[in-house]
Structure 1
Amino acid sequence: MLNFLLFKVIFIGAVMDPIWRHILRLSIWIGVLGFLRIFCLLSRDRFDNLATIAYTPPKQYYKITLLLCFILLGDVLWYIGSALLFPASLTFLTLEFLPVILDTIHVMTKYLSHLLDQWQENGFENKCLVNYYTELGADVLILACTLMQYLQLMWMHGVSFGLVDFVLFLNVRSVLKNLHNKVLIHRERWRAMSYVRDRYVNATPAELSLHNDDCAICREKMKTAKKLACGHLFHL
């Protein structure tokens, strides 16, 4: 919240339109979006907490999924209002809106995949894969939007080699470093997964039927599995 206030209210005021009344209205309007995002992040933390509990009634997931639907609707209404109230700043506000909508969709996907896992008789085996790629895609796109926003602020402010330029440069450097780390981590994971796919054979339907067991790592039912040299079966 402190970072939000410092950057969105004070720092943007030093870069954008010098008319303070316009900046105050814009800051309050961005604050509404920040309020929605906080609820989205709280929902994500709530999911991480519920995932550690042995049994959680589906009603808990339904309630938070419904809240996320309202947040998603609020995000869309906020953007429509931006087009009507601040048409001159719509490009900047679009780059504010996209990270929040991506975060909301990402968290909704986690809840929906979990509900799908509960509804299906043998569970949703691709839940982890869907969650991983949704999170990766959302993180990369959010970082890209943040980078574009910083570059837009640098363009609007111009290069004067002052404190504002220095802070913007550090923020751009931080975003590029995070993007680079995301790519490296995904590349290493892809190499590891490719090695496992090539190194170990798939378990046959007969072997899966014979054992009729849960994966010893993730404790989920196995519709498909990899077979180790010792004969044990695990999810990929």
Structure 2
Amino acid sequence: MKLKTYAGLSIIATLAIIYHAFNSRGQFYPAMVYLSTSKISLVLLLNMGLVFMCILWQLTKKVFLGSLREAEVERLNEQSWREVMEILFAITIFRQDFSVTFLAMVTALLLIKALHWLAQKRVEYIETTPSVPMLSHVRIVSFMGFLLLLDSLFLYSSMKHLIETWQASVSLFFCFEYMILATTTVSIFVKYLFYVSDMLMEGQWEKKPVFTFYLELVRDLLHLSMYMCFFLVIFVNYGIPLHLIRELYETFRNFKVRVADYIRYRKITSNMNDRFPDATLEELNASDATCIICREEMTTAKKLVCGHLFHVHCLRSWLERQHTCPTCRALVVPPENGTTSAAGQQGSQSDAHQQGTTGTGSGSTAQTEATDSLSRHQARLQAAAAAASIYEKSYVYPSMNSFVCSPFAVTESSDKDRNGEQTSSEEAQRQFLIAGRPPNLSFPPMQNFHFLPSQAHASPVNYGEGFENDPNIPNSQLEAYRKLLQCQIQNLQILQNQLEMLQRIKADRSVDEGTPSSDSRGKSVISSSSGSGHGYREDIRDGKA
């Protein structure tokens, strides 16, 4: 629709300027001079020529290809902008030969290249389509013949001009471009012939991927040779051809990749019978006898190092593109010394099994020791919570029902008990932390527990309530609770001694400073604290009784 509108406006403008030229000049020759010298008239005539070429391009596309698919339109848009930039670089190199004819030739070259891109995409589409109508085959064959004819005509014209003038000119550029297009057209046509031959053989042509691989390798070699020759010629006569740098690099990279793939492919497939053993009947029956490459049943197959089975021809065609297993993506290339590697793998597996058995035994022993130290660790935590609750500090610990030791703590405790890392001397060096004390003041260690502030959410301690309301408590838990109370009584005595020592230190300082009031106040604190501690011990003994 846009092209129709643009073409209609261009035709109207061209007819208007032609009418104005003949109406104002009155004769044919003065009118032609006016049309060729007036800038506005020249622009409108060139625009009309562009519209005419676009109409011819659309007619050619409609006749040979019909409606374009989305992938073809996308490829056309991507390549067009790239080619426009390269042609602009080429114009800067051949600026001495810039003329109206040069612009027309460049426009024709761009449109012909677009037809080649569409032909390549259409052949790829035909190769991947299960059923293709006969009309599509006729169209694509005639289209490639038409493109080859255009390439030959323009190549002949450019070569003729070079031979006649025998000097470097813009014809060298067009000669090179049409040589590239001609070889590309021949490559596409031969690839299409491979597809037709395989279709006539009902997909049983095993050599098709091999011939296709060789065809692409030869095509890249020809293109690389022509690009290098043209680059040298342009560099000698004009300077650095900027428009060829990208094409030269991409062609060289593709050729390098194809050569590496070819060498790897020849190395793998040179002795496939020796590298990949035949699958036995038991292996075929034990596994799925369907080749995942062609989706057909296998009567004979080759076995890869990873153990997967494939047809011989399917595996060969797969190795042309990929060098990994189609199923598990493992490397297809087997080790050079398969027996040694297999023995090494078996030895490593046996060692791993022995290590696993030993690790299991040691793990069970550690678990037993950790279970033995569980009650002792719970007693320590409960004693710490009781001491913190007496002095109303911030050391709040979880309730008795939530005293479940983490595996890390149990393992650490068992490891310390087993390895002897925690000795009595190290326990004596631990400091009992009290809020507000001097940092250099240390006390004798508690027995069988540590004071560590809780970092998680905790609940207040309420001892004795669960034992009175729950008659189904096991004897082991009652015994653990009895031991806990004994530890608490001992720890309370230690706490009382530490508190008295603190008060004594404070009283001594008060005497030195001459403040008897503080001394009496300290004594009252001692007496009250002693009374409260004594009352608490009596309550605990009554509960025990």
TM-score bracket relative to the smaller structure: 0.7 to 0.9
Residue 227 in structure 1 maps to residue 305 in structure 2? no
- 1:92 corresponding residue in structure 2: 173
Q: Is 1:200 aligned to 2:273, yes or no?
A: yes
CA distance in 2: counterparts of 1:190 and 1:177, whole angstroms: 20
Counterpart for residue 139 of structure 1: 220
- CA–CA distance in 2 between the matches of 1:187 and 1:127? 20
Partner of residue 153, structure 2: 77
Which residue does the alignment assign to 1:130? 211
Question: Based on CA coordinates, which of the two structures has the bigger radius of gyration?
Answer: 2
User: Which one of the candidate residues 93, 118, 121 is aligned to 1:15?
Assistant: 93
Q: Which runs of 5+ in 1 are unaligned?
A: 159-164, 205-212
Q: Could you tell me how far 1:114 is from its partner in structure 2? A: 1.0
> 1:179, CA displacement in angstroms?
1.1
Match of 1:29 in 2: 105
Given the superposition, is the C-alpha separation of residues 93 and 214 from structure 1 closer, same or farther in structure 2, using an over 3 Å criterion?
Answer: farther
Alpha-carbon distance, 1:5 to partner = 2.6
Partner AA of 2:101 in structure 1: R
Which residue in 1 is equivalent to 2:198? 117
Task: Work out the number of aligned pairs and report it.
Answer: 216
CA distance in 1, matches of 2:114, 2:196: 23
Kept after mapping to 1: 8 A contact 2:293/2:310:
no
1:103 is aligned to 184
Instruction: Tell whether the 8 Å contact from 2:220 to 2:254 is kept in structure 1 after alignment.
Output: no
Q: Tell whether the 8 Å contact from 1:226 to 1:233 is kept in structure 2 after alignment.
A: yes
Out of 37, 48, 56, the position equivalent to 2:124 is: 48
- Asked if 1 retains the 8 angstrom alpha-carbon contact of 2:191 and 2:212, the reply is yes
Q: What is the DSSP-based 3-state SS (H/G/I as helix, E as strand, rest coil) of the residue aligned with 1:53?
A: coil
Query: Is the 2:291–2:310 Cα contact (8 Å) retained in structure 1?
Result: no
Q: TM-score, normalised by structure 1?
A: 0.72
Distance in 1 of aligned mates of 2:173 and 2:185: 19
Instruction: Give the counterpart letter for 1:15 in structure 2.
Output: I
Give the Cα separation in 2 of the matches to 1:198 and 1:43: 38
Q: Does 1:191 align with 2:241?
A: no
- Any idea what the Cα deviations from partners look like across 1:144-195, whole Å, max 9, x if unmatched? 323333332222224xxxxxx4x73x95476246414522442244223422
More moved, 105-114 vs 134-143: 134-143
Which structure has more relative contact order (CA 8 Å, sep 6+)? It is 1
Secondary structure of the residue that 2:96 maps to in structure 1? coil
1:16–1:156: 8 Å Cα contact kept in structure 2?
no
Contact 2:151/2:179, CA 8 A, preserved across alignment:
no
| Structure 1 residue 116: Cα displacement | 1.5
CA contact (8 A) 2:187 2:219 kept: yes
In the TM superposition, residue 70 of structure 1 has moved relative to its aligned partner by 1.2
Q: Is the CA contact 1:79–1:94 (under 8 Å) kept in the aligned structure 2?
A: yes
CA contact (8 A) 2:292 2:310 kept: no
Is contact 2:217–2:258 with CA below 8 Å preserved after alignment?
A: no
Partner of 2:115: 39
For residues 3 and 144 of structure 1, what CA distance do their matches in structure 2 show? 22
TM-score by length of 2: 0.35
Identity of aligned residues (%): 21
- For 1:143 and 1:27, the matched residues in 2 are separated by 27
* Distance across 2 between alignment mates of 1:147 and 1:110: 25
Superposed CA RMSD in Å reads: 3.6
Distance verdict in 2 for CA 1:58–1:226, change over 3 Å: farther
Matched letter for residue 184 of structure 2: D
How far residue 71 of structure 1 moved from its aligned partner, in angstroms, is: 0.8
Gaps of 5+ in 2: 1-79, 279-288, 317-545
Cα distance, 1:218 vs structure 2: 4.4
Q: Retained in 1: the 8 A contact 2:220–2:251?
A: no
